[in-house]
Structure 1
């Protein structure tokens, strides 16, 4: 699948993958800072997200294959590859099957299984009838009945856009993501030893990555480091962008 991407900067290739319900827009600000340090940063939209194509196939295996296809099509050799949340699990899967990278950076996600915890978001998305709403405000009012956190609400609703015909549509494939959401939390089997450098970044206010998770991660990625960003939650790049970029650049040097 030919993925949509945004490119910024010049230099060593650096590829970035977002999380579920996200897009390349979400990480663009920090990616500009990374690019300023001498990197050519490619920020991808995963399948069924953003401006990339849609498909009934939605698994970490096919997303890792999409990533490989992108690297080949763009002649990117041994890039640094970073993935947040769902993107992090995609990068882990990629590193278990492909060798075309110099370093990997996993942001606030572990290889283990996570129980589904997006039911409120999916219910809110299902409650918005795109054929009936006439404004973003109307969609936000409906969605607020399911998602109360302001940041989370704005993050999801960023996917709502006005079509050329004057109606509304989503930049995410809501039916497929809803159907496959259990798989997004699925375990990544790490049965290959990888000796290339790896960095696992976590937020101190997030519960996604425990010390035990890191030990399991390091059992496969044997040259792995753990970096905890104080005061950051699961959205490390959004809550502590300066500290996040500093950690990324130090590891990538």
Structure 2
């Protein structure tokens, strides 16, 4: 188990170097208990006059001006190249919820690597906020306050089953798998509750539903245990 670099009792904002929204970063930074930059995510934050509590990564893309403007004790250089900066950050943050901006964007390979990290650390509840979608690994149970007609896509990272209320097409009795049944383009009929039997299912919602996903994750009755690695 990695030693934590940042520990907080409330949500933490984690910012990467990918596509982000300045207004969204400023709004999130005003209501979290800590802010972490993944490498060049520090430049994104400083551009919005937001100072990170910690910068974590291999430091191969952060600008020299950002390095010079951040106190050295906040810089945490992890040189190994066997993991992504997102992985390095998530495994060193202890918080009930991580709000991750700047990790979903144009590069499909980068996005897939990020999603694999969610599966690697199911005990680290994390919401990914992107320009078009918001994504999370589902906890054992979550309720989402969604408007009727909201797109709800379920994507299995491995074989998994569950049940639901509030979906146009209920999922009970389905055996989900990446090479089998998947749940793209389902829809809410109102508030949705999802129950999963393993930490292997992603939920993908429109970006406009990020607030509902955040509230649902924050109020989840239970979390998954840490995976043995």
TM-score > 0.5 by shorter chain: no
The structure where helix makes up a greater share of residues is: 1
TM-score where L is the length of structure 1: 0.34
